[in-house]
Amino acid sequence: MNNNSNIGVFDSGVGGTTVLKEILKVLPHENILYYGDSGNAPYGQKSTEEIQKLCCRILDFFIANNCKAVVVACNTATAAALDKLKNTYSIPIIGVISAGVKGALKVTKNNRINILATPFTVDSNAYIKELRKHFKSFKITQEGCPEFCPMIEIGWETHPDRYDILKSHISHLSQEADTLILGCTHYPIIKNDIERFFSGNIVDPARETALELYSLLRLNDLLNTSSKKGKVEFFVTGDKKLFKKIAEQFLEFEIKNIYQIDK
């Protein structure tokens, strides 16, 4: 492993491209392997043990492909497996939940925070535990959304009832909260629609995650010193064509290096 080694970024599907997009802005010279495990999605409806097993399989893939650091670009996987991954593997690994909390702390004025996430992330209380580390008196309302990830993976705009479902979930959140954390990396893809029903601060953990990655690489003297633009390769366990279509729409560039792998 050296400065020119790869960075591994993974998610249960296309959602982690929201984190990838920010990483490419902050670290344009890094070589990145993106692993979209859409063939095993949705993670939010699996057990902790199942998610940990899938995550370890992905880490093994990254290790075998010369990765110097890994970003768990999935809130559900962060909640279920980050501690286990850190205890199992020696390379630097970061998740997205602490980044989401940092973003919320920067913008909330009344310490009332809403969280939209997968049911697994909500049930884990991972965001509540992280927020309580900073301030005990946050008033937090969470809403688990089992439909969103599958709908986004297929193509959000293809669902005629998407606004009704979105409005229903947001109606369960606090009307007093001034901040909403997008507690799933898929959700920034539909941020414009979320803004139709929530007018406060909307926190996307992606930017903070990218900055945390930069700090981690610098601390470990692992920043790529090349002046050339880095290479990005995609590995997908599900429908490669569908992943490519949705990812390109969000990333706003053509994906050329994409490979189908076994789930």
Q: Which amino acid is at 185?
A: T
C-alpha dist (Å) from residue 220 to 24, 57, 81, 90, 207: 19, 25, 23, 12, 20
CA-nearest of 137, 79, 68 to 108 is 137
Q: CA torsion, points 8, 10, 14, 15, in degrees to nearest 10?
A: -110
93 contacts 222 by C-beta, under 8 angstroms: no
CB 171 within 8 A of CB 145: no
Closest CA to 117 of 133, 135, 101, 136: 101
| Residue 243 near residue 36 (C-beta atoms within 8 A) | yes
What do you get for the CA distance between the two ends of the chain, in Å? 26
Note whether 5 and 68 are within 8 A (CB): yes
Catalytic (active-site) positions: 74, 184
Residue 114 corresponds to which tokens in the numbers above? 């809403």
The span from the CA of 1 to the CA of 68, in Å, is 6
